[in-house]
Structure formats: C-alpha cells, structure tokens
Structure 1
C-alpha cells in the first residue's frame, strides 16, 4: 500500500473552518518530510514485468531474487543496479503525471521558492536530482504558483494561537490511528506520557516530526516545508511568522525559538 496519502483540498476550504479542515488533513500529510518521502517497488520504482534502465533489463519471479526489493528511494528517485548488480538510488526516469495518477501526491502541483510551478512533488525532485541549478531550490507551497494574500498585524498577532490549535487538533485526530496509517510511533506515544501541558505536547510533537534531516533540535528551510507548504496559500502570515521565529537570523529555528514563537516559556521547552 502507498505509505503516503495526501489530500489537499485548499480550494474548497472556507475561512471559517480552515483549521478544522487542517486537522482533518493531518493524517494525509503526517509522513511528508521533504527528502524523506519513499516509495516501495510496487508503488513507483517497478512494474510487474521487471525494471528497465537504459540497456539493463532485469526480470525477477519473486522479491527474494530482486536486489531492489528492499531498497527505498526518496521521492523523485528510483532503484537501479550498478555494473556489479548492486542497487542504488538514481534520478527517476519519469513520474506519475497529474490526473493520470490515482494518488493525490501526484495530482498536486507544487510552487517552488523561485516561483516556478511543477506538475507534482515527484517531478520537482526528479528535476532537482538531475539539474545542479535546482540544488538550492525548495518547495514553497502546495498548489500552482499564485499571488499571496496580505498578512495584517492583527492576523500575525493571533497566528501563534491558531497554529497551536491546529497542532492540538491534528494530534488528537491521529492519536488512536495505527502507525502505518499515519498514527503515532511508539516513541511518540512514550513522549505523550510526559507531564507536559496540552500545548507543549502538541507543539513539540509537530516539531519532532519536522526535525528529521538531521534530527538535531533545529529546523532548516527544507524541514519547515512540511509545516509551511500545505497552509501558506490561505495562511499568508505563515512566512512572516516563521521569519520572526528566527530571532538570531541564523536561518534555523531552534526548539527554544519554536516554543517562544508559540507563546511557551523557556521552562516549557523540553530540550
């Protein structure tokens, strides 16, 4: 089964209930982490007849004989064999395209930090894998590039509360889900046993899910994609809010800075 299910219905979201809808969408986005998205052989890398790459053509009757059977690659990459028949991940030769795919992740366009629209997340990472000029380009948000709305001073002032409420609702939504369906890992369940406030639990559950590459208690621009990209189109205060979080202007948001931004005291930050 596909590991990652994405349901992005931004166009249909009403302002009045946008955060309730965000919570409903958390399951679909729970395992999105830029540069960590993977696809199994059946989902993307192979077809049932075997894998073809250039002059190499290999067919296997079962997965035991298949060198790529247990190989997982980032989105936009696929498993190929070198001259010694050892598997490695290389730039994908193609990606599922738009409406021809059954998976929402392939039907959703993405806008990059250079204001360029790509067909889907896979196609962006495939191109990024092949083109050196795209190395420093990231996904800005999900959806076709569009003019951003304005962020008023009042909206920005209320933003921490809105985001914290989203985290709380998102955590409640997936709390009893199986891990394989986007629910909590065993480590996350153990963390929730800590005697923290509801806000602290929700805020640092989300922080830990973003803090993956590397897991160092700092969030860089790429790691923040999982937070920024799904909501920036209808939450125009997202960018200025995150920029304000980086108090020391080192292009990273530390756990302490993240907590302070969301109105936690330093004593409430668990790291």
Structure 2
C-alpha cells in the first residue's frame, strides 16, 4: 500500500494493509486532534441523531483556506486613520467573514444584511483532478469530491432520502466483499498492533512536535522501554495473538487512546457514526470487515459505541476499562 499526497488530499492505494500507512494515517489524525486543542476551538455539539450531521471528514480532503486576512491592503504611514475606517467598513459590509456554515452550505446575507447559511450549488465546487478526490456515499454513488457530496446532501435536506444519505468511504464506489466470521476475528489483532506502534512512533518523534500530552508520553514511555515489546512489522496473525496474550498490558492504553482521539464531537464517552468517520472512511477500501466490526461493537444497537463496548471489541477485560486512560 502506498500513500500519495497531492495538495492536502491523501490517496490510499490498497494492495494489503501495512504498518507504515497506518502509522502515517493515524499520525494525521493525532495532528488534527492536537491542532484543534491548541487553537482552542470548541467541539461541535452532536445532535444525538446520527443522521442529523456529518463529521467534517472532508476537512482532511479539502484545501485549507486562510481566514482572518485583511481583504484591503493600504499603505501605512499618513493613512492610519483611513485604514481603520476601511477595516470597519469591510467588516460591516461582510458579515459572512466570521459566520460558520457546515459542509454543504455557504454563507449569504439577507435583505437586512444578516448572514445566513444556504445550500451550496454543486457546480461551484472545485473540479476534481483525480480519483483520489472521489468519495462513495451510502447510495452507492461516486461523487467527484466531498464538496460535491455535501452540496448534494444539503439539497435533499428535510427529505427521507437526504436523511439516510451519508458519506461511506474515501475513493470511488467499488464492490466490498462480504466479511466472513473468521476474517472478522483477525481485524482487532492487526488494529491493536497498529495502534500500539503508532503511539510508539509518536513518542519517538515528539521532542518538538508536541504530538502527545505529557500524561500520554508517560504512558507510552513504559511501552517504548519495555524489552518485550513486539517491534513493528508485518507479523503473522498467530504471532499477534500470542503477543497480545503475553504482553496484554501494552495494549490497554493504545485502545483507550484511540477512543479518546475519536471522541471529540462532543467528548462524552460515546462514539457516534459521525465521530467514527475519520477512522472508518479510509479503512473500508483496505479492510472489508470495517463496517461489520464497528456494527458488532455496538452491542446494544443504540447507534453509539460506549467506551466499554469499544474496549470489549479489542479484547480489553472489563476490569481494565478506565475512563482516566482516555487522555
């Protein structure tokens, strides 16, 4: 599997899941989560109904446009007073500058110059330049980009079809093979190992990048310095199962850590379909058991995965589930 970056878009070309891609992918997730905490942005409240809103998964797929720049450039010096007046006029005439709209909508002003969010015209979306920008929706339709998908979904707002339409996975729609029972048991074996090694990689690179908090570093340090740690690599399923049995304690924190990385909108110890999207959408083209695995994790079928359900899916014992580890 290779990782191709173009602008801010990421393409995952699947041959077989490898440790390297997973580490890079989850490094991106960790970086996004840290960036949000540094900027002090408040998490967007979840509506408690999965279909009401989509996670801003496409933030990782679209170019980031700088905000807050002065739209009027004026020479400094004798015209300081003029500069101040111009800035005030610009802000007054552009109430949409600081008005946020969810994906699929754009800001417009009404007759009283009050900002409001309206559905974006799909034709106004930037033209896609490759398949890596395509996304597949739950209606098994390939959209040119996440911008086109969310604009289309907005146009169906209030309808039954729009209520059921969601972003399914990254890339053009393709046939996803059914997940067999035997294959389903293999999924957590690989994922546990990936999560452990992702944390170790973050720890090794964290001298100046602040990829982990101090509390997280202390937890990972114990794993990193453990001489019994299974080194990163393409290991057999038998070896992964044996290592989990013999070095069980090394996997407890990585499983809790991943839950905390996803539990952001809001942080309530429950994962919604929306919060799972950053992990689920890139996984599906590579791991055809992804959907069934997360469905199985929701043991009470309430459309949310609690911390206890998440831990159980990864083989963590009930007595080792600790909310204080979600740091």
Structure-2-length-normalised TM-score: 0.62
Moved more, 65-74 or 193-202: 193-202
Instruction: Give the 3-state SS of the residue equivalent to 1:111 in structure 2.
Output: strand
Asked whether the 8 Å contact 1:8–1:25 carries over to 2, the reply is: no
Change beyond 3 A, Cα 1:161–1:76: same
Distance 1:222 1:248 in 2: 18
Aligned alpha-carbon RMSD (Å): 3.8
What CA distance in whole angstroms lies between the structure 1 residues aligned with 2:108 and 2:63? 11
Question: Do residues 96 (structure 1) and 126 (structure 2) align?
Answer: yes
The number of residue pairs the alignment matches comes to 245
Unaligned segments of structure 2, at least 5 residues: 1-6, 34-43, 45-53, 73-84, 223-248
Contact 1:159–1:237 (CA under 8 A) maintained in structure 2: yes
| Max Rg structure | 2
1:71 and 1:247, CA in 2 relative to 1: closer, same or farther beyond 3 A? same
Q: Would you say 1:201 and 2:271 are equivalent positions?
A: no
Q: How does 1:32-47 map to 2 (within 5 A)?
A: 34-36=54-56, 43=65
Deviations 1:203-256 (A, max 9, x none): 222212222333221112222222211011121111221122121222221110
Which of 201, 221, 245 is 2:297 aligned to?
245
Paired with 2:109 and 2:149, the residues of 1 have a C-alpha distance of 23
Aligned to 1:148: 176
Q: Secondary structure at the match of 2:169?
A: strand
1:139-162, Cα deviation, whole Å (9 max, x unpaired): 111111111134343332121121
Distance 1:77-1:19 versus aligned 2 partners, 3 A rule: farther
Instruction: Decide whether aligned partners of structure 1 residues 171 and 67 sit closer, same or farther in structure 2, where only a CA change above 3 A counts.
Output: farther
Q: Is the 8 A contact 2:136 2:170 kept in 1?
A: yes
The 3 A distance-change label for structure 1 pair 142 and 62 is farther
User: Do residues 226 (structure 1) and 227 (structure 2) align?
Assistant: no
Paired with 1:161 and 1:230, the residues of 2 have a C-alpha distance of: 18
Counterpart in the other structure of 1:7: 10
Correspondence 1:64-75 to 2 at 5 A: 65=91, 66-75=94-103
Measured after TM superposition, the shift of residue 130 of structure 1 is: 2.0
For residues 154 and 184 of structure 2, the distance between their equivalents in structure 1, rounded to whole angstroms, comes to 36
Alignment of 1:1-271 (within 5 A): 5-9=8-12, 11=13, 13-15=14-16, 18-30=18-30, 31=32, 34-36=54-56, 43=65, 65=91, 66-93=94-121, 94-99=124-129, 107-132=132-157, 133-174=161-202, 176=206, 178=209, 183-184=211-212, 188-191=213-216, 193=218, 197-271=249-323
Q: Distance in 1 between matches of 2:291 and 2:193?
A: 18
CA distance in structure 2 between the partners assigned to 1:200 and 1:253 by the alignment: 17
Residues 87 and 21 (structure 1 numbering): CA distance in 2 closer, same or farther, change over 3 Å? same
DSSP-derived class of the 2:308 partner? helix
Separation (CA, whole Å) in 1 of partners of 2:314 and 2:64: 41
- Contact persistence 1:24–1:173 (CA under 8 A): no
Residues 91 and 130 in structure 1, CA contact (< 8 A), matched pair in contact too:
yes
Judging by fraction of residues, say which structure has more helix.
Answer: 2
**Do the aligned residues in 2 keep the contact of 1:192 with 1:201 (CA within 8 Å)?**
no
The change in CA–CA distance for 1:193 and 1:5 in structure 2 (over 3 A counts) is farther
TM-score, normalised via structure 1 length: 0.73
CA offsets, 1:48-98, max 9 Å, x none?
A: 989xxxxxxxxx975972433344433333333344434344333332221
